[in-house]
Amino acid sequence: MLAECKARFDGTKETFANIYLPKLQSLEADVEEIRDQFDENFSKVSREFFIKKYYEHQEPLARLETYEELLRNDATNSVDIKECITVADKAVSRETDFKQHIENLESEVAQRDETLSQQAVEIAKLQEELRKLESIRAGLSAELALYEKPRQLNAIIDLLKNADFDEANYLFAELTAKFSLTAKERKRLEVIAVESVRPIPASDKSSNRAGYQFLVNLFPENKYYQNKLASYSS
């Protein structure tokens, strides 16, 4: 390491002599600018060099520091020098093992982070695909409402006209489970249902009950229909 540092020093002197000294010796030399340039370049090169060398020799330096700490009080400590070196070697070995273990853990954490990152990307793709499918489903639901709702309404109207209130109630429950009815559509069903239930004789409680049950299902808040249904249910 000493030889490398000496070579580095010699190289710096040579660089200064070949590059910066001719600039300083020129007639219009800007000394401050040359000095600043030299300081900046030298600080960068020197810093990177010595940092690199420090990390390359970190373990030997740690061992030397441990030796020095153990031998510092040699005059008052009767521990044999060889034993000190053995203890220092064990201490440095343990520290090296700890450092390696930490590096392994950091590497594992980095790998897991990468895995989680990839999984996050996959989840984002699946979420995007789900949004597209939801959009398709919404479109299909709108298309279904456009064609299926009128078909079911017409089927209920036909049943009401034939006074088949039981089947009309069944289809009405299916219709309202999937679609919302407008006030106009409810009014139309009400008119047809009333026209169908009105001619039924009072003695035919079963048909009247089924007819007013449909009207109550159509307008649950209507007291008149509720009372009529109650009168045919007793």
Compute CA distances 144 → 96, 132, 137, 150, 178, whole Å. Answer: 71, 18, 10, 10, 10
Residue 164 lies in a domain: yes
Residue 48 lies in a domain: no
Q: What domain count does the chain have? A: 1
Residue 174 lies in a domain: yes
Q: What is the pLDDT of residues 85-139, one digit of tens each?
A: 666 667 767 777 878 888 888 888 888 888 888 888 888 888 888 888 888 877 7
Residue 137 lies in a domain: no
Mark 130-142 as b/e (b = at least 16 C-beta within 10 Å).
eeeeeeeeeeeee
> At residue 62, what is the residue type?
A
Residue 154 lies in a domain: yes
Residue 179 lies in a domain: yes
Three-state secondary structure call for residue 220 = coil
Residue 79 lies in a domain: no
pTM of model > 0.95:
no
Residue 103 lies in a domain: no
d(CA 12, CA 32): 19
Range of the domain at 162: 143-231
Paired tokens of 122:
């996959």
Q: What is the pLDDT of residues 43-55, one digit of tens each?
A: 666 666 666 666 6
Q: What is the pLDDT of residue 145?
A: 60
